[in-house]
Structure 1
Amino acid sequence: MFKLLKKMRPKEIIMSIICIIFILGQIYFDLSLPDYMSELTTLINTVGSEINDIALVGLKMIGCALISAVLAILCGFLSSKIASGFSYEIRKKLFHHINDISKQEMQDFSIPSLITRTTNDISQIQMLVSMGLQMLIKSPVMAIWAIIKILNKSWELSFVTMAYVVVLCAFIFIIMSICLPRFRLVQKFTDKINKVTRENLQGINVVHAFNAEDYQNNKFDDANKKMNSLQLKNQKLFACMQPSMSLCMNSLSLVIYWLGATLINNMSSASDRLVMFSNVVVFSTYATYVIMSFMMLIMIFMILPSAQVSAERINEVLAKQTSIKEGSVIEGTSKGTIKFNNVYFSYPKTKEDELVNINFEVNQGETLAIIGPTGSGKTTLVNLISRLYDVTSGEVLIDGLNIKDYEFSSLYHKIGYISQKAMLFSGSVEDNVFFGEEKNKDILNEALEISQASEFVNKLDDKENYRVAQLGRNLSGGQKQRLSIARAIARHPEILIFDDSFSALDYKTDALLREELKNKLKDTTKVIVAQRVSTIRHADKIIVLNNGEIVGIGRHEELMKNCSLYQEIAHSQLSNTELEG
C-alpha cells in the first residue's frame, strides 16, 4: 500500500498535509469540549456562580463544535479531491504500463484480471484514501490524545479504560488476521466471474447455437456461489464487530459511572466529591471518544484488507518490466528490406523451439509469402518481424539493422501490421483508418480504394463518418478485414505484414486487392501469411514452414518441382488445370 501511495502527485501530497492540519485542529476542538463540560459542571454546582460565566463557557462549547464541523467539511472536500486525483493518476499509470509491456509479459495476466485491476481494484484504493485519510489519522490521534488527558484524572478509571482498549485491539487483530487471506481469494473469484462473463458475452452466438445456456449458467453459478460463500463468511465476522464495539462503549460507560459513584461515596469532603464527580463526567466523555476512535478504525479495517490486496495486485502489474527493450537508432542503412539470420525462437515457459534455424532475405518491393500447416509457426515468424517478441537466438534485420536497435516509434512506423483477427475500435470509419494519425482525405480515399473497402463504405449512410461499433460488431468479417488493411496502408509503411488477412475475403476481392497492392504499392515490401495457394502463387518468394522449420523456399513454379509439402497443399486446393494456368 505504501509503495502505491508513493506515486501520489505533489498536488495531492500538499492537499494531504493541509487535510492533516485540519484533522488535528478538529481533534483539538473536539477534545476541548469535555474540559469545558467539566468547567460548566463545576460552575453549576458551585454556590454563587454568575450566569454570565456559565453562558460564556456554553458559548465556548458552541464555538468549538462549530469550528470542528467546518473543519470536518473542509477535510471531507479535500479527501475526496485527493482520492479522485490519486485514483486518476494510478489508473493512468496502470493503463499506460499495460500498453507498454510486451505480449510475453501480458501472458502472466489474464485479460479479465487486468480489467478488474484497472477498475474495481482502483475503486477500492480510492475508497480507502477518501475515508482513510480522515479516519486513519483522526482515530489513533484522538484515542491517544484522549487517553493522555484522562491519565491524571483517576488511576482506577484509567486502568478500566486501558483494559477495554487492550481487549478491543486483540479482537480487531483476530478478525483482521482471519479476513485478510479471504480477501485475496475474493479478488481471484472476481477475476474468475469476469472471465466467465466475458467469455459468455463474446461467444453468445455459439452459446445459443449449441443450446449451451444451461452449461454456461452452471459455470457462472459455480463461480458466483463460491464468491458468495466466501463473502458471507467475511460479512458474518464483520457483523460481530459493530455490536461488540457498541457493547464495549456502553459497558465501559456503565463501569466508569459505577466505579465513579463508589469512589465519590467513599469521600468525606464535599469539595472532593464535587471534583471527583466532575472528573467522572469528563472521564466518561473521553472514554467514549476512545471507543469511538476504535469504531472509526473498524470502519477502515472493513475496507483495508481488500484495499491492501488491490494495491498488491496493482503493484504486481506496475512492477512487471517488459523484456523488449527500446533501442536508440531511427534509420537503417537500406529501405524496405528484411533478413533473418539463424533465428531460433521458443515461447516463454516452453522448452521446445517454435522456430528453428530460420534464414531468408527479402528486398524492397518484393512480396514474401509464408504457407504451411496449422501450428507450423507462420504467425510466430511475422510476430518477430513486428517485434511483438524477441528472438531466442540469431537476429532479425530490418533495413539492414538489427531490429533490437530501433526506437519503437521508428520501427513501428516502418511496419504496417494486419492481424489474423480483424480488430476495430468504436468510432467512425475514418477514426479506425487513421487510428491516431493525422487525418487526410486523399490518403483516406487511397487506402479505402486499395483495400477494396471503398466498395462498401460508399454505400454506408454516412460513408467514412459511419459509426463503427465496439470490435466492429455492426460490420461483416470481410468488411472488418478490409478496414484493417486500409488502416495499415494509410500509414504508408515500408513493410506490410498480412497475417492470414485474406481469409475472410471472397476470391474476387482477394484478387482485386492483390492487384491493387502490386500496381500501387510497388516500393512497399509485402509479407503475406496465407492458407490459399491462389493468394500467394504470384509472390516473389514463398517460404514453406513445417514444425517451425523451412522445408521449402522459392517461387511457386520452383516449389511445385522440389517441395513435396507445397505440392500436397497446392493439389488439395487447386486442380491441375488451375495450377498450370
Structure 2
Amino acid sequence: MRQGLRVLGVAIRTEKAVFAAAVLLSALYGGMTVASAWALGWATQNVVLPAFDQGDITAGALWTGVLLIIGAALLKAVGVAGRRIFAGVIQYRMQARSRRDVTKQYLRLPLSWHHQHPTGQLLSNASADAEAAWAPLAPLPMAVGVIVMLFTAAIGMLITDPVLALVGFLIFPAIAVLNLVYQRKLSPLATRAQQLRAEVSEIAHESFDGALVVKTLGREAMETERFQRRAHELRDANIAVGRVRGLFDPMLEALPTLGVLAVLAVGALRLSTGSIDAGELVQVAYLFTLLAFPIRALGWVLAELPRSVVGWQRVQAVLDATGSMEYGAKKLSDSGPAELEVSEVSYAYGEAEVLHEVTFDVRPGRTVALVGPTGSGKSTLVQLLARLVDPSRGRVLIDGADVRDLAYGNLAESVALVPQQTFLFDDTVRGNVALGLTADDEEVWAALRLAQADGFVDRLGAGLDTRVGERGASLSGGQRQRLALARAVVRRPRLLILDDATSSVDPQVEAKILYGLRDAAEASSVVVVAYRMATIALADEVVYLDKGRIVDRGTHEELLGRCLGYRNLVTAYEREEAERAAIETEEEEEEVSA
C-alpha cells in the first residue's frame, strides 16, 4: 500500500494542475450527489407525503422539488464529464512520459547493457509496464473527490440521526480488513502475471525476428508449442488474478448493501417509535446507498495498486540501470580524414577478456584492414572504435582526443560504422539512405554511386521512392549492404568503419567500392574488417589479430612473407581450390591410363 501511494504521489506532484482540476470536478460530483439525496428527502417530506395525506400540493412546492433535483443532476453531470476528461489526461500523460523516459534510457545505456537484457523484456518495459504503472490514475481523481461525498454524507447522516449513522458505519472496519487480505493475496499474483507478459513478448519477438530460421529448419510446430506453453502460463496467471479480484469485488459491493439493510431495519423500528420521520429515514437510507459508489471507486484504485507497483518497479529498474556512457565537452574538427589511435585497449565480456592491450594507429586518409580468425576480437574492437562500448582499460583517440571526452553526438558526426548485419527500415530507398539527415537527391545519388548501388536503385520501379520492405526484404543481401554503405558515406564521415560490410558483394564490385572510397573528393580514413585477399590487398596496412592480441602489422606482402598464421588464413581459400583442382587432375589422369 505504501509503495502504491508513493507511485501515485509521483503522478500528483508531476501533474499538479490537471490532478487538482480532476479532483475539484470529482468533488463537485460528490457534493451534488449528496445534495440530490437531500433534495429527494425534501421532496419526499414536502411534496410526496402531503400529496398522500392531503390529496393536493402547491405548484411552488412541486417546482421547487423539481428544480432542486434537476439542478443537482446537471451539476453532477458536469462533474462526471470533467473528472473523466482530466483523469484521462493525467493518466495518458504519465504513460507517455514513462515511455519516453524508458526509451531515452535505452538509447543512453551502452550496448553491453542491452546484451544482458532480451528484446522482449525491453519492449514490455516500454509498453505493458508503463501502462500498468499508471493504471490507477483513471479512477484516482474520482476516488479522492468522492471522499468529499463520504464526509458530507457521514455528516448529513449524523445530523439526521446519529443512531442510524453509527449502524451504517460498521461496514468501514470490514472494508479495511477485506482490503488488507486482498492486497496480500493479489500482489504476488500480479507480479507473476506482469513477468509472464514480458516473457510472452520475448518469445514472440524471437520467433518473428528469426522467421527465416524457423521456416527453413521446420521449427514452426516447436516455436508454436514454446509460445503456447508460456501463453498458457500467462493465461493461468491472469485467471488467478481475476479469481482474486472476482472474489473481492462482489464482497465490496455486498458490504454497503448489507449496511443499507441494517439501516432500514433499525430505521423502521425508530420510525415506529416516532424517533424519526419518513423523510429522514428516506434521506439516511438514500445517503447510505450512495456510499456504495465511493467505496467502489476506492476499491478500483486499491484493485489496481498491486499491478501498478509491479509495473513501476519494472520501469524503475530500467531507469535506475547503471553503466551509462559519460560524455565530455570536446569537439572534433569537421573536415579532413581523421587520425585514429588505439592505445593498450582491453575489453572483457564478464570474466572473459576478449581483447588484450591492443595498440595500433590509422593515419589520416589511410585504409587499414583488420584481419584475424573467427573469435579473434575484430567485431568487439570495431564496437570500441565507434564507442558502442567503452574499453575496460586503455584509450581510443581520434585526432588526439579520447572518445570518452567528446560531447554527446559529436563522435557520430565524424565516425560512421557499417556493421556486419545490415538493417533497413520499411521505408523508401531515400529514407533509408538519408535516415534523418537533411540531404537532397543529388547527395543521395552520389552516395549510391560511391557504394555501387545507383545501378540497381535506378532499375527499381520508383527509384529513390521505392519502398524496400521490412528489413529490406525485397532486396538481395548485397543490395542491402550497398544501401547501408551509402547511408554511411552520405554523412561524409572522417572515419569510416566497415565490419565485413561487403561480404555479400562480389569481389569486383567490392574493389570498385574501396577504390571509390579512397579516391572520393572528401576521402575518409577507413578501417575495414576483411577476409578476402582481394579486399585486404587494397589496404595500405594490415593489422593481424589472434586471440584478442595484435600478432603482427604491416603491408599485405610483408605479412604474407613473415607471418605464418596470417598466410595460412588469407590463402586458405586459394589453397583449398588448388588442392581440389589437383585432386580432380589426378583422377582424370587415372581414368585416362585405365
TM-score by length of 2: 0.89
- C-alpha deviation, 1:127, in angstroms: 4.5
Aligned to 1:340: 342
Task: Give the aligned residue type for 1:506.
Answer: D
Hey, what's the Cα distance between the residues in 2 that align with 1:565 and 1:254?
Answer: 92
C-alpha distance 8-150 of structure 1, shift in aligned 2 (>3 A): closer
Aligned to 1:302: 303
Aligned to 2:510: 510
What SS does the aligned partner of 2:491 have?
A: coil
What SS does the aligned partner of 1:452 have?
A: coil
Aligned to 1:23: 26
Among residues 73, 93, 105, which one is paired with 1:97 in the alignment? 105
> Aligned-residue CA RMSD in angstroms?
2.5
Correspondence 1:392 to 2:400? no
Among residues 79, 87, 100, which one is paired with 2:95 in the alignment? 87
- C-alpha deviation, 1:92, in angstroms: 2.9
What SS does the aligned partner of 1:357 have?
A: strand
What SS does the aligned partner of 2:106 have?
A: helix
Aligned to 2:535: 535
Correspondence 1:551 to 2:551? yes
Task: Give the aligned residue type for 2:76.
Answer: S
Hey, what's the Cα distance between the residues in 2 that align with 1:285 and 1:308?
Answer: 36
Correspondence 1:315 to 2:322? no
Among residues 58, 64, 67, which one is paired with 1:59 in the alignment? 67
Hey, what's the Cα distance between the residues in 1 that align with 2:256 and 2:104?
Answer: 48
- C-alpha deviation, 1:103, in angstroms: 1.1
Aligned to 2:143: 136
CA contact under 8 A between 1:417 and 1:497: conserved in structure 2?
yes
Task: Give the aligned residue type for 2:287.
Answer: Y
Task: Give the aligned residue type for 1:359.
Answer: T
Hey, what's the Cα distance between the residues in 1 that align with 2:153 and 2:532?
Answer: 81
Hey, what's the Cα distance between the residues in 2 that align with 1:256 and 1:158?
Answer: 8
Hey, what's the Cα distance between the residues in 2 that align with 1:549 and 1:166?
Answer: 72
Equivalent residue runs for 1:155-174 within 5 Å: 155-174=162-181
Task: Give the aligned residue type for 2:16.
Answer: I
C-alpha distance 576-58 of structure 1, shift in aligned 2 (>3 A): closer
Identity %: 24
CA contact under 8 A between 2:339 and 2:525: conserved in structure 1?
yes
Among residues 107, 110, 122, which one is paired with 2:118 in the alignment? 110
Among residues 201, 205, 208, which one is paired with 1:198 in the alignment? 205
CA deviations on 1:68-97 (whole Å, 9 max, x unpaired) are 112211222233333333433333333233
Hey, what's the Cα distance between the residues in 2 that align with 1:492 and 1:3?
Answer: 47
- C-alpha deviation, 1:215, in angstroms: 0.9
Aligned to 2:43: 40
Aligned to 1:74: 82
Range with greater deviation from structure 2 (362-371 or 97-106)? 97-106
Hey, what's the Cα distance between the residues in 1 that align with 2:96 and 2:73?
Answer: 35
What SS does the aligned partner of 1:501 have?
A: coil
What SS does the aligned partner of 1:119 have?
A: helix
Equivalent residue runs for 1:391-470 within 5 Å: 391-470=391-470
Equivalent residue runs for 1:157-306 within 5 Å: 157-265=164-272, 267=273, 270=274, 272-274=275-277, 277-306=278-307
Range with greater deviation from structure 2 (215-224 or 287-296)? 287-296
C-alpha distance 538-576 of structure 1, shift in aligned 2 (>3 A): farther
- C-alpha deviation, 1:126, in angstroms: 5.7
- C-alpha deviation, 1:335, in angstroms: 5.1
CA deviations on 1:7-53 (whole Å, 9 max, x unpaired) are 7897x532322222211122111111222333333335467896323
Task: Give the aligned residue type for 1:497.
Answer: I
CA deviations on 1:193-223 (whole Å, 9 max, x unpaired) are 1111111112223222222222111101110
Range with greater deviation from structure 2 (446-455 or 483-492)? 446-455
- C-alpha deviation, 1:321, in angstroms: 4.8
CA contact under 8 A between 1:182 and 1:230: conserved in structure 2?
yes
Task: Give the aligned residue type for 1:313.
Answer: R
- C-alpha deviation, 1:56, in angstroms: 1.1
What SS does the aligned partner of 2:292 have?
A: helix
Hey, what's the Cα distance between the residues in 2 that align with 1:450 and 1:311?
Answer: 49
- C-alpha deviation, 1:108, in angstroms: 4.5
C-alpha distance 388-7 of structure 1, shift in aligned 2 (>3 A): farther
CA contact under 8 A between 2:428 and 2:468: conserved in structure 1?
yes
Hey, what's the Cα distance between the residues in 2 that align with 1:93 and 1:183?
Answer: 24
CA contact under 8 A between 1:105 and 1:322: conserved in structure 2?
yes
What SS does the aligned partner of 2:544 have?
A: strand
Hey, what's the Cα distance between the residues in 2 that align with 1:507 and 1:463?
Answer: 25
What SS does the aligned partner of 1:458 have?
A: helix
C-alpha distance 204-576 of structure 1, shift in aligned 2 (>3 A): closer
Aligned residues: 568
CA deviations on 1:141-196 (whole Å, 9 max, x unpaired) are 32333223323444443333222121122112211221122212112111111111
Aligned to 1:328: 329
CA contact under 8 A between 1:147 and 1:290: conserved in structure 2?
no
Task: Give the aligned residue type for 2:156.
Answer: K
- C-alpha deviation, 1:575, in angstroms: 4.0
Range with greater deviation from structure 2 (483-492 or 254-263)? 254-263
Hey, what's the Cα distance between the residues in 2 that align with 1:371 and 1:7?
Answer: 54
Range with greater deviation from structure 2 (332-341 or 387-396)? 332-341
What SS does the aligned partner of 2:139 have?
A: helix
Task: Give the aligned residue type for 1:345.
Answer: Y
Aligned to 2:374: 374
- C-alpha deviation, 1:5, in angstroms: 6.5
What SS does the aligned partner of 1:417 have?
A: strand
CA contact under 8 A between 2:514 and 2:538: conserved in structure 1?
no
CA contact under 8 A between 1:477 and 1:504: conserved in structure 2?
yes
- C-alpha deviation, 1:484, in angstroms: 0.5
Task: Give the aligned residue type for 1:407.
Answer: A
CA contact under 8 A between 1:8 and 1:86: conserved in structure 2?
no
Hey, what's the Cα distance between the residues in 2 that align with 1:378 and 1:574?
Answer: 23
Residue segments in structure 1 that go unaligned for 5+ positions in a row: none
Aligned to 2:474: 474
Range with greater deviation from structure 2 (313-322 or 507-516)? 313-322
- C-alpha deviation, 1:318, in angstroms: 2.6
C-alpha distance 439-3 of structure 1, shift in aligned 2 (>3 A): farther
CA contact under 8 A between 2:32 and 2:73: conserved in structure 1?
yes
Task: Give the aligned residue type for 2:528.
Answer: I
What SS does the aligned partner of 2:551 have?
A: strand
C-alpha distance 565-485 of structure 1, shift in aligned 2 (>3 A): same
CA deviations on 1:85-142 (whole Å, 9 max, x unpaired) are 343333333323322322133235321122222223333356433x224333134332
CA contact under 8 A between 2:91 and 2:135: conserved in structure 1?
yes
CA contact under 8 A between 1:533 and 1:573: conserved in structure 2?
no
CA contact under 8 A between 1:332 and 1:400: conserved in structure 2?
no
Hey, what's the Cα distance between the residues in 2 that align with 1:112 and 1:253?
Answer: 50
C-alpha distance 470-450 of structure 1, shift in aligned 2 (>3 A): same
